[in-house]
Amino acid sequence: MDRIVIDGGAPLRGEVQVSGSKNATLPIMTAALLADSPTTLHNVPELRDTHMMADILRALGARVDLAGGVMRVDPSAFNVAEAPYDMVRKMRASIYVLAPMLMRLGKAKVSQPGGCAICPRPIDLHLKGMKALAADVSLDHGYIVVENRAMKGAEVSLTGPNGSSVGATANTVMMAALTPGETIIRGAAHEPEIAELARFLRAMGADVEGEGSSTMRIRGVQALKGCEYSIIPDRIEAGTFFCAAAITEGDVVVRGVEVAHLEAVIDKLSEMGVYVAAEDGAVRVACDGPPRPVSIRTLPFPGFPTDLQAQFMALLSLADGCSTIIETIYQERFIHVPELQRMGAQIRLAGGQAIIEGVKKLAGAPVMASDLRASAALVVACLAAEGLTDVHRVYHIDRGYEAIETKLSGLGANIRRVSTTRKNGNG
């Protein structure tokens, strides 16, 4: 199992390029199976998750090639309508295969994803979307079993107790694209990755409108065609580099950024006294002292993203005063707190909020990555910590950050990956 070793304290300087968005790529890869001809995707990030999704699509019969950020998905031999537990448990986003199975093969049997390290993750809104379109849905021994006997467009609201669901909106839009009649989704997720999926579906010939707003309207078409498409930049990777620049009191230009996707994040950094200047798809972030404390409340887009909460907590642990973070999307998403505390951060959890009392310095310590964004937060903290830090279980970070150590060392960080090969004959 690989680990990352960081000798903290070096201010980051220079330029770094953001990769394509993981959360946009995953549904788009599965949406490519809705078509009857091949799709070529550009700016695809090479990540554990995109490779895993490629393996899943291959197991369903599709041909998938990925090299140099270009992915070709050929759905001509897509013929498997089942995604077993072993496939789905590794990546929650594999639930996205439901839509193409149902719409192209007439049925789908997909293992119900369980909870995850973050917290329980229900799927009621996914089921609501399918049922609204008149799919026959049943739950059988941990599997979602769905049949398309006479699906038809309908009006459905996908607002849940914590706001709209990105995943349920994506699955419903994909299904509606090939469902006869008109579907209206109320309470659709506003996230840029949903808007990207809508644009991709349109490029394949779908009739979708209203992306980026709460109401999406989809008129089902008979067939979709493969297309050529370039994926938007990863706003969460960009935001993670902003934190890394600020916490090390560095000066970094992050290139390939879609600024409109990061307004809440940029506003928060400015409030913290961090210098942020956006120009021509690049954002310069510079800082020459501890940030000012702030209050953060995670919210659906365009609010502050839950996927940057942990990285900002790392940054705020060195702020000049007391900050608070309220997590409204995943109320229990605080598993990074004990690891940050081991590095000397002063953080208390009380009533669903984190209270972060800024300290003068963090100290290197062996820490354990527990999920994707928590591990990114640990790397951010380590970059500023005194002494050596070992981040274990970095496969979590490899799920969503392309070449993280190469990009950070290009900015002057003392970071290296150590691969541990087991000597038991199994390699």
* Sign of the torsion angle spanned by Cα atoms 197, 199, 203, 208: positive
Among residues 21, 165, 171, 375, the one that binds ligand UD1 under rule CB under 6 A: 165
Choose one: 156-164, 227-235, 272-280, 341-349; the region binding ligand UD1 (CB under 6 A). Answer: 156-164
Kind and range of the H or E run holding 357: strand 353-357
| Of the residues 74, 196, 307, 398, which one makes contact with ligand UD1 according to CB under 6 A | 307
Q: Are 183 and 156 in contact (CB under 8 A)?
A: yes
Q: Among candidates 335, 340, 281, 298, which has minimal Cα distance to 15?
A: 281
What span, in angstroms and rounded, lies between the C-alpha atoms of 290 and 206?
Answer: 49
DSSP 3-state of 70: strand
Task: Answer for the pair 29, 229: CB distance below 8 angstroms, yes or no.
Answer: no
* Token code pair at residue 58: 């291959």
Contacts of 426 (CB under 8 A, 6+ apart): none
| Nearer to ligand UD1 among residue 85 and residue 330 (C-beta) | 330
What whole-number distance in Å separates Cα of residue 82 and Cα of residue 93?
15
Site string for ligand UD1, 17-56 (x = CB under 6 A): ------x--x------------------------------
- Judged by beta carbon, residue 32 or residue 189, the one nearer ligand UD1 is 189
Part in contact with ligand UD1 (CB under 6 A); list of ranges 116-124, 172-180, 269-277, 412-420: 116-124
327 scored as a contact of ligand UD1 (CB under 6 A): no
Is position 198 an interface residue for ligand UD1 (rule: CB under 6 A)?
no
Q: Which is nearer to ligand UD1, 158 or 244 (CB)?
A: 158
Evaluate the CA torsion angle 402, 404, 406, 412 in order and state its sign. Answer: positive
116 assigned to active site: yes
Rank residues 130 and 413 by Cβ distance to ligand UD1 and give the closer one.
130
- Count, residues near ligand UD1 per rule CB under 6 A: 23
Contact call for residue 275 and ligand UD1 (CB under 6 A): no
Single-letter amino acid code for the residue at 66: L
For ligand UD1, the binding residue among 3, 126, 268, 392 (CB under 6 A) is: 126
- Which string of b and e fits 207-245 if b means at least 16 CB within 10 Å? ebebbbeeebbbbbbeebebbebebbbbbbbbbbbbbbb
Residue nearest ligand UD1 by beta-carbon distance: 167
CA–CA gap between residue 38 and residue 150 (Å, rounded): 27
276 lies in the binding site for ligand UD1 (CB under 6 A): no
| C-alpha to C-alpha distance for 173 and 354, rounded to whole angstroms | 35
Report, in Å, the least distance between residue 95 CB and ligand UD1.
8
The stretch near ligand UD1 (CB under 6 A) out of 117-125, 357-365, 374-382, 386-394 is 117-125
Stretch of residues binding ligand UD1 (CB under 6 A), selected from 122-130, 199-207, 343-351, 378-386:
122-130
Nearest distance from C-beta of residue 373 to ligand UD1, angstroms: 8
- Smallest gap from Cβ 81 to ligand UD1, in A, equals 21
Q: Which stretch binds ligand UD1 (CB under 6 A): 36-44, 162-170, 335-343, 375-383?
A: 162-170
Active-site residue, from 116, 243, 287, 382? 116
CA distance 71 to 45: 10
- Given the DSSP bridges, would you call strands 155-157 and 182-186 parallel, antiparallel or unpaired? parallel
The reply to whether 183 sits near ligand UD1 by the rule CB under 6 A is no
- 66 belongs to the binding site for ligand UD1 (CB under 6 A): no
Give whichever of 4 and 158 is closer to ligand UD1, judged by the CB atom: 158
* Interaction of residue 212 with ligand UD1, rule CB under 6 A: no
Place of tokens 């290009």: 410
Nearer to ligand UD1, 164 or 248 (CB): 164
User: Using CB atoms within 10 A of its CB, is residue 105 exposed (0-12), middle (13-18) or buried (19+)?
Assistant: middle
Binding status of residue 187 toward ligand UD1 by CB under 6 A? no
Q: Does 407 bind ligand UD1 (CB under 6 A)?
A: no
Q: With the C-alpha atoms ordered 90, 422, 368, 414, is the resulting torsion angle positive or negative?
A: negative
In terms of CB distance, is 74 or 307 closer to ligand UD1? Answer: 307
What is residue 336's three-state secondary structure? coil
Residue 227 token pair: 């297309």
What residues have CB less than 8 Å from 55, skipping those under 6 apart?
none
Pick between residue 275 and residue 330 the one whose CB is nearest to ligand UD1.
330
Which of positions 328-387 make contact with ligand UD1 (CB under 6 A)? 329-330
Q: Where does this chain bind ligand UD1 (CB under 6 A)? A: 23, 26, 92-93, 121-126, 160-162, 165-168, 189, 193, 306-307, 329-330
Catalytic residue numbers, as ranges: 116
